[in-house]
Structure 1
Amino acid sequence: MALGITLLVVLTSYAFYFLALHYFPEQIDEAAWAPSPPEWLWLAATTVTGLVLAVIVAINLSRRILVPLNSVADSMRRVAQGDLNVRATAGDRSLGEAAELADDFNALAGQLQRVSDDLAFWNAAIAHELRTPVTILRGRLQGLAEGVFPPDESQFRSLLTQVEGLSRLIEDLRTVSLTESGHLDLQFQDIDLSAEIKDVVALYKEALEASGQRPALDLHTGPVYCDPMRIRQALLALLENARRHAVPGTIRIQSGMEDGWYFLRVEDNGPGIPSELFSQVFTAFRRVNPAHISTQDEGSGLGLAVVAAIAHAHKGQATCRPSSDGGSCFELSWPRGKAGY
């Protein structure tokens, strides 16, 4: 703006003195210190013109600056009042800093909204998962207290089953939440992972056979660096998932090493998962096909989320893909060696 006004004064001075000296030279006294009336007129005209230009530019510039700033300020007040759907207007993006401020605020508001939505979803899902076992426990205990049910071994075993289900749900919730917050404590050590897998399968073999499924092992022998308790927990979740949702057949459990990564795979014979749903199977409380699962055996919706959480805690990943027999192959993999842990 200063450069523009300077140019305006210089250029108009050339034009003014050319016209003045050509048409009314008697009005210009080159020896006088004070400006002549025509010169005063020229100075006033250039001053007013410069002021008008400065005001126009200032108004335009302030509007371009204040629109995103006012939008951000107003949006912040609305967010403070609980409206997480509000977004700021970036306005003219030629002023990069103001537009970036609005964009950063929108990103923050979007993240807050996602966190709020996830929190509401988790609260509702946890309440739903806890309702069934708590209702069963209350009904059974009330029946025992009123003499409706005989206090025999079967009743106590039924109560114990519900309590164990609650314990598993609480531990799964704890594992997932600790992983997301980065506070899941792992106890790494070199172990013979094949022996751990055999122990878990032996403990779970009866439950698999009751569902018409036969475990088949193909294991890598040798030391593996991991947290054995968490790997056992992940394997139990994969076996439980196969027991609940796979058709009768062979459950193949395989471990090994590929390209510097350890892996643990569990494959079933079907019915399989549509490929477009692979990205959802490891999300907590999001069941892929709940319509085909009975109410009594639908599970908590946390098992595969626990597997993914344990994989991420090992700086690895959990994946799902079709198996060679038309079923599903779930794989837990993590890097070999102690570097980075």
Structure 2
Amino acid sequence: MKRLKSPLFLGRWARPPAGDILRVGRRLALVDADGKWLAGNASGTGVGAARPIVHQGSVVGQLTLQAAPSSGRELDAAFLASQTENMAFAGLAALAFSLLAAWLLARHLLAPIRDLARGARQIADGSLAARIQVRSEDELGQLAANFNEMAERLGRVEESRRAWISESSHELRTPLAVLRAEIEAMQDGVRTPDPATLARLHKQVQQLAKLVDDLRLTLDRDPPGGDLEQRLVMPVAILEETVGTFRERYAAANIGLDTSRLVDLGWRVRGDAGRLTQVFANLLENSLRYTDAGGQLRIAAQVNKRELLLEFDDTAPGPSAAALPRLFERFFRAEPSRSRAFGGSGLGLAICQTLVEAHGGRISAARSTLGGLHIRVELPLERA
């Protein structure tokens, strides 16, 4: 009988399956009817089992299985080899999965960081309109949102700076133009340097000096607490004295001054009497400019816990809803034409806010029950 080649005849039987610890495939053999070896294990010893191969009713051969090895070492070696192969495959699979997971995680983490870096470079280059996409709600997403908020605030600061420069230039230009015109007129002989002309020049210089001082105050983001004379002062008495200096001007404008609720019970605060006088003078000046003839300003004082409350209420006209939250902005004028007519720079209330906060207090604005503006000043009282 012609021999058959084992790979073609036995197929999968000639190859040990993966994980075949007992190596069954290596112990299989094919013999003919006379017991001659044809394929498989050629040792032909230790046959453990045999199965006849029948063709057309006749036995043409046998498939034999050699007995399993009796040595425990061979079994251990076979088991160890199988486990090593399995562990190697599992390790490679775990490594591939770890690399994939690490790549995905790095991509997830680095994308917002790259966005932040790109946005920071744009901000550094002066592009304050730079914004980054908020990709999540975790810490990185919160960081992106904070970055956008910072950029928004920087944009507002830049707009405020440009507006401040523009308004400052305009306010400084007016007294300088008057001084230049007066001086050129004297140089051309049109006017003589008489006392009236010199008085006008002196007034413009004083106005210019006051404007420069006001600008310095409003530019100090750190309240000028170091410039304050920290003494025990009586703010109600200071306010009464300041009101006295305005009575003639209020009477000339036909605006009443109601100080019946301005009672001084000796309340004291720690601060600077000169700066408090400046605050009260600015508030009185503001009401004088914006209150219509025939109206009035009512001033009251009271104590709430450990704070002194000073309230200023005037009559119509009152600020609009849009103007109310902007009253303490530098150069803001609720009625520009009226403010300019009285020589106002739009810095009065901004200076009040700076100085009140320097004293540890607060100042706020609202619509008055009298129809005009309500200003509330809160100052911490000195503990006895």
TM-score category, normalised to shorter length: 0.7 to 0.9
Q: Using the alignment, how far apart are the partners of 2:158 and 2:383 within structure 1?
A: 37
> Is structure 2 residue 231 aligned with structure 1 residue 186?
no
Equivalent pair of 2:339/2:345 in contact (CA under 8 Å): no
* Mapping of residues 128-143 of structure 1, within 5 Å: 128-143=170-185
Give the alignment's TM-score, normalised by structure 1. 0.80
2:298 to 252, 264, 267: 252
Deviates more, 1:231-240 or 1:198-207: 198-207
Equivalent position of 1:15 in the other structure: none
Report the alpha carbon displacement of residue 90 of structure 1 after superposing the two structures with TM: 4.5
Equivalent pair of 1:275/1:321 in contact (CA under 8 Å): no
Equivalent position of 2:95 in the other structure: 51
Question: Secondary structure at the residue paired with 1:170?
Answer: helix
Q: Using the alignment, how far apart are the partners of 2:173 and 2:95 within structure 1?
A: 73
Q: Could you say what the CA RMSD is over the residues aligned between the two structures, in angstroms?
A: 3.1
Q: Using the alignment, how far apart are the partners of 1:205 and 1:144 within structure 2?
A: 38
Report the alpha carbon displacement of residue 241 of structure 1 after superposing the two structures with TM: 0.8
Report the alpha carbon displacement of residue 233 of structure 1 after superposing the two structures with TM: 0.3
Q: Using the alignment, how far apart are the partners of 1:72 and 1:324 within structure 2?
A: 50
Question: Secondary structure at the residue paired with 2:190?
Answer: coil
More strand by share: 2
The residue type equivalent to 1:182 in the other structure is P
Q: Using the alignment, how far apart are the partners of 2:169 and 2:24 within structure 1?
A: 96
> Is structure 2 residue 317 aligned with structure 1 residue 274?
no
Give the alignment's TM-score, normalised by structure 2. 0.72
Report the alpha carbon displacement of residue 103 of structure 1 after superposing the two structures with TM: 4.1
Q: Using the alignment, how far apart are the partners of 2:249 and 2:185 within structure 1?
A: 29
- % identical aligned pairs: 27
> Is structure 2 residue 266 aligned with structure 1 residue 220?
no
Equivalent pair of 2:333/2:339 in contact (CA under 8 Å): no
Equivalent position of 2:207 in the other structure: 165
Report the alpha carbon displacement of residue 57 of structure 1 after superposing the two structures with TM: 0.8
The residue type equivalent to 2:381 in the other structure is R
Change in CA separation of 1:268 and 1:82 when aligned onto 2, cut-off 3 Å: same
Question: Secondary structure at the residue paired with 1:114?
Answer: helix
* Count, aligned residues: 317
More helix by share: 1
Deviates more, 1:111-120 or 1:236-245: 111-120
Equivalent position of 2:349 in the other structure: 304
Report the alpha carbon displacement of residue 23 of structure 1 after superposing the two structures with TM: 10
Change in CA separation of 1:175 and 1:295 when aligned onto 2, cut-off 3 Å: closer
Report the alpha carbon displacement of residue 254 of structure 1 after superposing the two structures with TM: 2.9
Runs of 5+ unmatched residues, structure 2? 1-16, 27-67, 69-73
Q: Using the alignment, how far apart are the partners of 1:78 and 1:244 within structure 2?
A: 46
> Is structure 2 residue 191 aligned with structure 1 residue 149?
yes
Report the alpha carbon displacement of residue 146 of structure 1 after superposing the two structures with TM: 1.4
Q: Using the alignment, how far apart are the partners of 2:167 and 2:98 within structure 1?
A: 61
Report the alpha carbon displacement of residue 110 of structure 1 after superposing the two structures with TM: 3.7
1:241 to 259, 268, 286: 286
Q: Using the alignment, how far apart are the partners of 2:90 and 2:273 within structure 1?
A: 84
Change in CA separation of 1:149 and 1:21 when aligned onto 2, cut-off 3 Å: same
Equivalent pair of 1:307/1:332 in contact (CA under 8 Å): no
Q: Using the alignment, how far apart are the partners of 2:347 and 2:18 within structure 1?
A: 89
The residue type equivalent to 2:90 in the other structure is T
Report the alpha carbon displacement of residue 255 of structure 1 after superposing the two structures with TM: 2.8
Change in CA separation of 1:30 and 1:334 when aligned onto 2, cut-off 3 Å: farther
Runs of 5+ unmatched residues, structure 1? 1-17
* Mapping of residues 1-341 of structure 1, within 5 Å: 20=19, 30-32=75-77, 36=81, 42-43=86-87, 45-94=89-138, 96=139, 98-178=140-220, 180-184=221-225, 185-218=227-260, 219-221=262-264, 222-225=266-269, 226-248=271-293, 249-290=295-336, 292-293=337-338, 295-297=340-342, 299-338=344-383
Q: Using the alignment, how far apart are the partners of 2:174 and 2:162 within structure 1?
A: 19
Offset from partner CA, 1:154-201 (integer Å, 9 cap, x none):
3333222222222222222222233x2133332233334343223322
The residue type equivalent to 2:306 in the other structure is G
Q: Using the alignment, how far apart are the partners of 1:77 and 1:236 within structure 2?
A: 47
Change in CA separation of 1:155 and 1:78 when aligned onto 2, cut-off 3 Å: same
Equivalent pair of 2:22/2:78 in contact (CA under 8 Å): no
Equivalent pair of 2:21/2:79 in contact (CA under 8 Å): no
Which structure is larger by alpha-carbon Rg, 1 or 2? Answer: 2
Change in CA separation of 1:257 and 1:302 when aligned onto 2, cut-off 3 Å: same
Q: Using the alignment, how far apart are the partners of 1:117 and 1:174 within structure 2?
A: 19
The residue type equivalent to 1:70 in the other structure is R
Q: Using the alignment, how far apart are the partners of 1:262 and 1:284 within structure 2?
A: 26
Report the alpha carbon displacement of residue 317 of structure 1 after superposing the two structures with TM: 1.3
- Structure of higher RCO (CA pairs closer than 8 Å, 6+ residues apart): 1
Report the alpha carbon displacement of residue 206 of structure 1 after superposing the two structures with TM: 3.0
